[in-house]
Structure 1
Amino acid sequence: MKNTVVKYITIFALSFAIVGCSAVRNSNKTQKGAVVGAAGGALIGGLIGGNLKGALIGAAIGGASGAVIGNVMDKQAQKIETAVPGAEVERVGEGILINFDENSGVTFATNKADLTAASKQNLDKVIKVFLEFPDTNLLVQGHTDSTGSDAYNMELSKKRANSVVAYLKSNGVAANRLSMEGLGESMPRFDNNTVEGRSKNRRVEIAVTANQQMIEDARAQTN
């Protein structure tokens, strides 16, 4: 898994160099979305396997259609940030990256994959936004801290991602919009040597991308 992560990071680092674009938290990407298309055009399947920021840039279609999609994503990102102020919401390429950690209220206890009552309440808020923008796909990634073995953490991260996906489905998000994966402890964002860092690493990230319908509608508008 760690070799796979390194491979994806390397590929998308080259994409960054080509397009000269970086992800800035909560920034407007409508115009930048028209430039990023040079990096390539994978959809949700291209996000599986690791670095979501790089993959979102690689999934951009670019051009005028990309700018139309970027405008819609700008609006959606603003609504998500308003709905869950503690979540880290980034506009990346023509998509959105949401990090649910302890600050957002969507958290997991050590060795647990069940959603708490508080977690469900915060997910309820973002679900309303997802339902308002139905022409998007959602990839849910589960992550753990470094406590336990690699194999155990991989399975736990899958269970955490699945808990979120199941909750989204049960509250009206269409199943065909959803994908999930677990990455275990392979992609920490914080120091696993501290209690605080481990708590923050027990997280779920969601990548929001345009589905085929949104892409076709954007192309129709620009043609």
Structure 2
Amino acid sequence: MKKLKVSILALALGAVMFTSCNAYKNANKSERGAAIGVAGGAVAGGVIGKITGNTALGSIIGAAVGGGAGYVIGKKMDKQAEDIKEQIPDAKVQRVEEGIVVEFNSKVLFGFDQSSLTDASRNTLNNLITILNKYPQTNLEVQGHTDNTGAASYNMTLSVKRATAVSDYLKANGIAGSRLTVKGFGETVPKYDNNTEDGRAQNRRVEFLITANDQMKADAAQEAKDQGK
């Protein structure tokens, strides 16, 4: 019965564009991992990101390997997430499948309507850099987001500039450029309610999506094999 559930879930993630994501939401971690392994992380991530409206979830699942290796990666990500929570209290840290989402409200990093980092934000990013150097086998996607105030084209440009400013600072301070990807979403992916001032303020954010690089995936696959997972 469990194998049947996993198979159905895999089909849903890989080919079903006409269904909801309820099967994925209701599955346990091992079933999710197996489904990702069967359907393919990129396919699963694209489907889930689209139907949930959560680009972070979709991107992280798109980079997932699933199965025993995914379990090993998840345990490593648990430790990194705890380190970030402890060292950077201004950040919102969420463990998502085989990755981590770290969210900074833009006011933590930038002045209003600005894309230049503040002195305080550099200190915050320095703490993050310390942790990223401790876990070198991870990739980072830096996402810029805005609220819906003003022209959409302006917001898109601002989101790209902010994400780029953060990425450039990381690279200038020892994080390899090969680990970094920059994306700007402007106002297109609100996480909070744009009908309230508080919601708009929270939508003005920069998110880091932390996922395993190829070396971590290979090491995790070998570790899982050695453990018989």
- Please indicate the TM-score interval, normalised by the length of the shorter structure: 0.7 to 0.9
SS in 2 for 1:206: strand
Sort the Cα spacing of 1:222 and 1:41 in 2 relative to 1 into closer, same or farther, 3 A. same
CA apart distance, 1:144: 1.0
Change (3 A) 1:19 1:123: same
Q: State the alpha-carbon separation in 2 of the partners of residues 112 and 142 from structure 1.
A: 13
Aligned residue among 196, 201, 212 for 1:194: 196
- Structure 1 segments of 4 or more deviating over 3 A? 13-16
Quote how far apart the aligned CAs of 1:33 are: 6.3
TM-score by length of structure 1 reads: 0.80
- 1:55 corresponds to: 59
Q: Distance in 1 between matches of 2:22 and 2:62?
A: 9
Output one character per residue of 1:58-106: Cα deviation in whole Å (capped at 9) or x when no partner: 432111111111111010000011111121111111011111116xx63
**Distance in 2 between the 1:52 and 1:219 partners?**
24
Gaps of 5+ in 1: 1-9, 23-31
Any conservation in 1 of the 2:137–2:216 contact (CA below 8 Å)?
Answer: yes
- 8 Å Cα contact 2:145-2:205 kept in structure 1: yes
Give the whole-Å Cα distance in 1 for the aligned partners of 2:34 and 2:176.
28
The answer to whether the Cα contact below 8 Å between 2:138 and 2:211 also exists between their aligned partners in 1 is: yes
**Once the two structures are superposed, what CA deviation does each residue of 1:115-138 show, in whole Å capped at 9, x if it has no partner?**
111111111111111110000110
Name the CA distance, whole Å, in 1 between partners of 2:30 and 2:130.
25
Q: Specify the code of the residue in structure 1 equivalent to 2:23.
A: A
Q: Label 1:122 to 1:34 Cα distance change in 2 as closer, same or farther (>3 A).
A: farther
User: Secondary structure, in 3 states, of the residue corresponding to 1:222?
Assistant: helix
Which residue is 2:217 aligned to? 215
State the match for 1:80 in structure 2.
Answer: 84
**Aligned residue number for residue 38 of structure 1:** 35
The offset of 1:109, in angstroms, is 3.0
In the alignment, structure 2 segments of 5+ residues that lack a partner are: 1-15
Q: 1:215 Cα shift?
A: 0.5
Whether contact under 8 Å (1:106, 1:123) holds in the other structure is no
Query: What's the C-alpha RMSD, in Å, of the aligned pairs?
Result: 2.7
Corresponding residue of 2:167: 165
Rounded Cα–Cα distance in structure 1 between residues aligned with 2:25 and 2:209: 20
* TM-score (norm. length: structure 2): 0.78
Residue pair 1:138, 1:209 contacting (<8 A) in 2 also: yes
**Contact kept? 1:33, 1:93, Cα under 8 Å:** no
Distance in 2, Cα, partners of 1:63 & 1:76? 20
Q: 1:16 to 1:62 in 2, by over 3 A?
A: farther
CA distance in 1, matches of 2:123, 2:60: 27
Match of 2:140 in 1: 138
SS at match of 1:73: helix
Alignment of 1:88-167 (within 5 A): 88-101=92-105, 106-167=108-169
The answer on whether the counterparts of 1:140 and 1:204 sit within 8 Å (CA) in structure 2 is yes
Corresponding letter in the other structure for 2:42: A
**Cα 1:77–1:21, aligned 2, differ >3 Å: closer, same or farther?**
farther
Could you tell me which residue of structure 2 aligns to residue 17 of structure 1? 23
Greater share of helix residues, 1 or 2? 2
Number of matched residues? 200
Structure 1's 175 and 34: CA in aligned 2 closer, same or farther, altered over 3 A?
A: farther
Q: Percent identity?
A: 47
